[in-house]
Amino acid sequence: MQYRSKVACIFLLGFFIDCINIFMSAIAFPAMSTLFQLTQVEAAWISNSYILGLCLIIPMSIGLANLFNTRRVLLGSTAIFALSSFMVGSADSFNSLVIWRFIQGLSGGLIIPVGQALTFNLYQGNDRVKISTLIMMTALIAPALSPMLGGWVIDISSWRWVFYSHLPMILLLLLLIYIWLKPEQLGTLQRPDYCGILLISLALSSLLICLTLLGQSQSTLSIAFAVFSTVLFSGAYIYYAKRHTSPVVELKLLKNIKLKVSIWVYLAVPGVFTGVNILSIFLLHDVLHLTAAQTGSFMLLYAFMALVAMLLVRRYYQQFTAKKLFYAAVIIHSLGILSLAWVESTQSVVWVSVAYLAMGFGGGLAANTAQSTALLDFPEQLLPQASVIWNINRQISFSLGSAVLLMLFYLLQQKLPQLQLLQLYHLIFIIAALIGSLPIFILYQLKD
């Protein structure tokens, strides 16, 4: 096996484990909510804390890889990831669960950007489009199989085994890194940008806290302080990055049209879908009273259509162009979300199937086209920094999508108490479809 194939296998396995940690845990939300007496917004922090850990460590990933070399960094982070996965499954309180999920995110957050930068350095030109397709196909297998398998595990045993089941794959990843990976760097050794890392971390943390407080209807003073903190730290980093010669996240790269449009599409399609999927899980479990395995099985429909879409992107990417593929993806995905507004009872579950089929096709088109387009123009020396931006966006999209929609769900529940629970779900799905269609207004920036 060629060395670049070994590196790609390590990255794809790490990416697969990362996706499992997001989608398999979501199917366990109702069970964990019952045990720890949580609302949907509080339950979302089981994912948010993991994604927050990812987002905070990703800006440091390239610097750590250059300081200690890629092999040492990936070995250490994977070992901590294995430990934290076991501790998440053993958690006896909501606080300990969230803390260990955060540590799990911190340790796992080094695998994706470092692995992607190593892989993309070894796959250039048209090979990069092909490896992007493999990346997105890997991202499909995880959400396709993990919810149903996770639901089956929950139905016959406990939600704890949802997290224990990751351990064999994590240990395999650790072994492959030890055997296959060479000790190398991703660029020239530079002093870590500690100030930039701190500002980025504070801005992301403040944003997620702000959305959570809005969803839980905390005091106006608390919400105002969270909003102020988000604006303050975000503005401070933008000001700092413009004056720093080598900031941890190089915002100048966002001037690249392909990267900028891909980011917005990823926020509006895979990001919004994450929130829609969580709400759909609670709808199917709490309102229609389906089992966890039945609820998770709809992701198989999503994955099948997403696979079809990704194969089409791989074959016709040059012929159709990213612009046309993005238009089709956004429209089809939004229509799929809208289909959930027709779900009334177990007799209308067919609309759930239609929704996941459409969301899968639209999501597959959007994700693979964005993955293939975002980093297409960057030379090797800028690729690690562009990879950091792309992976921060990919992770924060999942968290923002669920946080925003759950916040809107609880705000509408309080402002419109006359609505029945099913009507409330219908309304939030309509709003989600509108949010998901917003990229239509910026796609004109891409050239045919």
Q: Are 163 and 26 in contact (CB under 8 A)?
A: no
The owner of tokens 């997620």 is 208
Q: 98: helix, coil or strand?
A: helix
* CB contact set of 312 (below 8 Å; sequence gap of 6+): 365
Largest Cα span, the chain: 63
Express each pLDDT in 336-384 by its tens digit: 999 999 888 777 788 899 999 999 999 989 988 888 888 887 877 777 7
Whole-number Å distance between alpha carbons of 151 and 440: 35
Whole-number Å distance between alpha carbons of 398 and 270: 7
- Same domain, yes or no, for 213 and 319? no
pLDDT at 217 over 70: no
Express each pLDDT in 282-293 by its tens digit: 888 878 888 877
The owner of tokens 């709003």 is 431
**pLDDT band at residue 235 under the 50/70/90 scheme:** very high
Q: Which amino acid is residue 352, in one-letter code?
A: V
Of 132, 159, 75, nearest in space to 373 by CA: 132
Of the candidates 247, 268, 285, which is a domain's last residue? 247
The average pLDDT across 295-315 equals 85
DSSP code of residue 139: H
Q: 104: helix, coil or strand?
A: helix
- Same domain, yes or no, for 99 and 221? no
What is the structure's pLDDT at 366? 92
Helices 3-27, 292-339: axis angle to 10 degrees equals 90
What is the structure's pLDDT at 79? 94
Express each pLDDT in 36-58 by its tens digit: 888 766 777 787 788 778 777 87
Whole-number Å distance between alpha carbons of 377 and 375: 6
Task: List C-alpha distances in Å: 196 to 85, 187, 189, 253, 423.
Answer: 29, 19, 17, 16, 45
Q: 389: helix, coil or strand?
A: helix
- Same domain, yes or no, for 181 and 198? no
Of the candidates 247, 277, 311, which is a domain's last residue? 247
pTM as predicted: 0.74
- Same domain, yes or no, for 242 and 261? no
Tokens of 326: 């993005």
- Same domain, yes or no, for 52 and 201? no
Task: List C-alpha distances in Å: 351 to 144, 178, 356, 357.
Answer: 19, 47, 9, 10
Of the candidates 247, 266, 291, which is a domain's last residue? 247
What is the structure's pLDDT at 180? 93
Q: Percent of the chain at pLDDT above 90?
A: 28
Whole-number Å distance between alpha carbons of 283 and 298: 13
- Same domain, yes or no, for 7 and 128? yes
At 406, phi and psi to the nearest 5? -70, -35
Average pLDDT, the chain: 84
The average pLDDT across 256-272 equals 91
- Same domain, yes or no, for 188 and 82? yes
Whole-number Å distance between alpha carbons of 8 and 118: 8
- Same domain, yes or no, for 165 and 26? yes
Residue 208 domain boundaries = 193-247
What is the structure's pLDDT at 377? 79
- Same domain, yes or no, for 341 and 390? yes
Q: Are 148 and 293 in contact (CB under 8 A)?
A: yes
Whole-number Å distance between alpha carbons of 375 and 373: 6
What is the structure's pLDDT at 202? 84
- Cα angle 237, 116, 360; round to 5: 95
What is the structure's pLDDT at 367? 87
What is the structure's pLDDT at 125? 67
The average pLDDT across 304-326 equals 85
- Same domain, yes or no, for 312 and 337? yes
**Total domains present in the chain:** 2
Express each pLDDT in 421-448 by its tens digit: 889 999 999 999 999 999 999 998 887 6
Q: 244: helix, coil or strand?
A: coil
- Same domain, yes or no, for 158 and 235? no
Express each pLDDT in 185-213 by its tens digit: 776 555 667 788 788 878 877 887 776 67
- Cα angle 429, 431, 436; round to 5: 90
Express each pLDDT in 84-131 by its tens digit: 999 999 999 988 999 999 999 888 878 877 888 888 888 876 677 778
Q: 10 Å Cβ neighbour count for 225?
A: 16
- Same domain, yes or no, for 65 and 101? yes
CATH number of the domain within which 172 lies: 1.20.1250.20
When mean pLDDT is compared across 54-63, 265-274, 275-284, the lowest value belongs to 54-63
